[in-house]
Structure 1
Amino acid sequence: MRAFGFKEINGDIVELDLPCPEPGEGEVLIRVSHAGVNFAEVQHRRGDFGAPEPTGDVPGLEAAGAVAAVGPGVRGFGIGDQVTAYLPAFGGYAEYVVAPAAFTYPVGDLDPVVAAGAPTVLTTAYGLLVGAGRLAAGDTVLIHAAAGGVGTAAVQLAKALGAGQVIGTVGSADKVAYAKEFGYDEVVVRDGFAEQVRELTGGRGVDLVLDSVGGSTRADSLGVLAVFGRLAAFGDAGNHPDLTLAVRPLWKSNQLVGGFNIGDLARRAPELVTRFARAALDLVAAKQVRIDVTEVLPLPDAGVALDGLAAGTSRGKLVLRA
């Protein structure tokens, strides 16, 4: 089986010749037509999840295509069904991949290119808002990395779920107009965002911050939280040292800090992954949310896609064509 992956931390993405996987209990085998690209795959490559196997690790948390085989105990899927899947064990940058049936979803009329970019981004954005963020009607929300895959989905989901004002930050001014296309009330450049957010909220602050940037952005976000405001972390795009937060200032200021990690959720509460994904996909089907695939690259260019994501030069969602 043809696949693309890396054999050393921060190594080049190279072609690998691997055996075709077989579905086990509760799994389906997908012949991949398209694979989504996510920042977690940048982290995978840079060694955040450990060293790769000697035969190479294949990134890829999302894949769309046709069901090629089903494992024991699987119901509701037939050979040839068009599906998209979240892949907690990675592996999407390949001709075939095995996915848990619980995290595999029929695509209906959805374009397979768009479908490939949906399972991780949508589940993460919905889980951040509803699970970690406890979004309530009328809440003011601040979303960092507003022009990225999660950022462009999260603002639409937040509005669909009843949020009030939604503010976004971007890393450079050239991304402001793009991010605003998705429904942000205001988008500001991240440098110096805290003062601008306080002005935009009349000094009240925001009820919820979604942060994938980390470092000083995460620390400064605490200063714009309203009473009982929540900060939900879900990544570390800048690869910054972790923050050390004392509890007493949070207690004294009526602030809450938490996070969302889809991998942990898949292990400990898989039913929530399924629920969040299906709820978000329903909003896509109802045309209340769209996934903006800005570039489709051939699978051998997976390294190019990851380099762009790591450099912060990409917008929207990147997808690979198998």
Structure 2
Amino acid sequence: MRAIGFQETGGPEVLHLVDVPRPVPGPGEVLIEVAYAGVNYGEVQHRLGDFGAPDTLTVTGLEASGRVAALGEGVGGLAVGDPVAAYLPDGGGYAEFALAPAEFTFPVGTLDLRTAGGAALVLTTAYGVLDGAVRVRPGDTVLIHAAAGGVGSAAAQIARALGVKAVYGTVSTPEKAEYALRFGYDEVFLREGFAEAVRTATGGRGVDAVLDPVGGPTRLESFEALAPFGRVAVYGEAGRHPDLTLPVLPVWKNNRTLTGYNIGDLSRRDPHLLRTHARAALELAAAGSVSIDISAVHPLHDAAEAHRAMQAGEVRGKSLLEIGG
């Protein structure tokens, strides 16, 4: 079968179209004939080596949609031919066929396969950060960095569905600010000097929660945008900055909280909770409360270009690879 693989870390040019054996599902696994695979920054990090160097040919891809091709032993509730979306904690989505854990494979309901191709990771992450990491409550105010990205655009809508009072965002360009406003943000600020803009917008109080996938100076400044008992949730490192060393006393003295969300860790240590988040988020999408804006669709052989655009910060909304159509 055709797949996109890499054997060494580096730039987008290390991604190559390869021919690999079609996988066979083991116990608790589902084999999916892939229609679409989401393109995510986590896959860019994988290719860059942030998760370690590959020991052999590696096929990345953390989410996909398609139809069930085969079921492993003990898998119930699904049938061959069913349209599904899946989160793939071990990768493999950039291929004509992918193995997914049954517990992270979901019927798409009313979603078309194109939309579902960008749903399983993005919606689960957005819901998990809001519900699990910062534990938003009705009436809260939220600030979301990278507001024009796949997770950011979904998180604004999910936050509204969870009853927050106001949603603010930050982006890197005015064009992205205009785009992000489509997803229910009250205001979207340019990232430089955003803490002061947030304090002004909230009458000096600050926000109850900040969602940060950027890191570095943005993460540090986020603490200055918090209301009393506000929470900063870390769920990525898109800026690829060195890790921060944070003093603890300002956290205590200013009633602040630092929390985190990592979908891979959750998949290993509490898969039931991850499945709960995913199902809740997918139900919101199926009901029309959350939409996914597919802004770019690349053929499988053009995966390197999809990665180049994402790494350069050119992507707004969700980018996909079309594999089976």
TM-score range (shorter-chain normalised) is over 0.9
Q: Could you tell me how far apart the structure 1 residues matched to 2:298 and 2:55 are?
A: 26
* Structure 1 residues not aligned, in runs of 5+: none
Equivalence for 1:58: 59
The alpha-carbon deviation at position 109 of structure 1 amounts to 2.5
2:182 matched residue in structure 1: 181
Partner of 2:43: 41
SS of corresponding position for 1:52: coil
Superposition deviation, residue 10 in structure 1: 1.0
* Pairs aligned (count): 321
Matching residue of 1:31? 33
Question: 2:316 is paired with a residue of what secondary structure?
Answer: coil
Distance 2:141 2:111 in 1: 31
Determine the structure 2 residue equivalent to 1:93: 94
User: Distance between the aligned counterparts of 2:103 and 2:96, measured in 1?
Assistant: 21
Name the counterpart of 1:9.
9
Aligned to 2:266: 265
Give the match for residue 143 of structure 1.
Answer: 144
Q: What amino acid does structure 2 have at the position aligned with 1:141? A: V
The AA in structure 2 aligned to 1:234 is Y
Instruction: Note the aligned Cα RMSD (angstroms).
Output: 0.8
CA distance in 1, matches of 2:19, 2:282: 34
Say which is worse superposed, 141-150 or 106-115, in terms of deviation.
106-115
2:239 corresponds in structure 1 to: 238
Moved more, 122-131 or 2-11: 2-11
1:1-322 → structure 2 map (5 Å cutoff): 1-11=1-11, 12-54=14-56, 56-322=57-323
Residue identity opposite 1:230 in structure 2: R
Residue 154 of structure 1 and its aligned partner are, at CA, apart by: 0.1
- Please state how far the C-alpha of 1:202 moved relative to its aligned partner: 0.7
Give the deviation of 1:128 after TM superposition.
Answer: 0.3
Deviation digits for residues 74-121 of structure 1 (CA, Å, limit 9, x no counterpart)? 001111111110000011000111000000000122111100100000
Distance in 2 of aligned mates of 1:279 and 1:320: 25
Q: Distance in 2 between matches of 1:108 and 1:137?
A: 28
Q: CA deviation at 1:174?
A: 1.1
Gap regions ≥5 residues in structure 2? none
Distance 2:76 2:186 in 1: 43
Aligned-residue offset at 1:140: 0.6
Give the Cα separation in 2 of the matches to 1:297 and 1:53: 28
Match of 1:229, SS state, is strand
Give the AA of the match of 1:25: P
1:184 aligns to what SS in structure 2? coil
Distance (Å, rounded) in 1 between the aligned partners of 2:301 and 2:163: 41
TM-score, length-scaled by structure 2: 0.97
Deviations 1:197-223 (Å, cap 9, x if unpaired)? 111111100100000010000000001
State the 1:60 CA deviation: 0.5
% identity of equivalent residues: 60
Farther off after superposition, 177-186 or 3-12: 3-12
Q: Distance in 2 between matches of 1:191 and 1:252?
A: 25
Deviation, structure 1 residue 260:
0.3
What SS class does the counterpart of residue 168 from structure 1 fall into? strand
Alignment partners' CA distance in 2, 1:294 and 1:284: 17
Measured after TM superposition, the shift of residue 53 of structure 1 is 2.9
Q: Residue deviations 1:282-321, cap 9 Å, x none?
A: 1111111001111111011111111111111110000110
Q: Which amino acid aligns with 1:165?
A: A
SS at match of 1:154: helix
The amino acid across from 1:4 in the alignment is I
* Residues in 1 aligned to 2:259 and 2:270: alpha-carbon distance in whole angstroms: 17
What CA distance in whole angstroms lies between the structure 2 residues aligned with 1:319 and 1:78?
A: 25
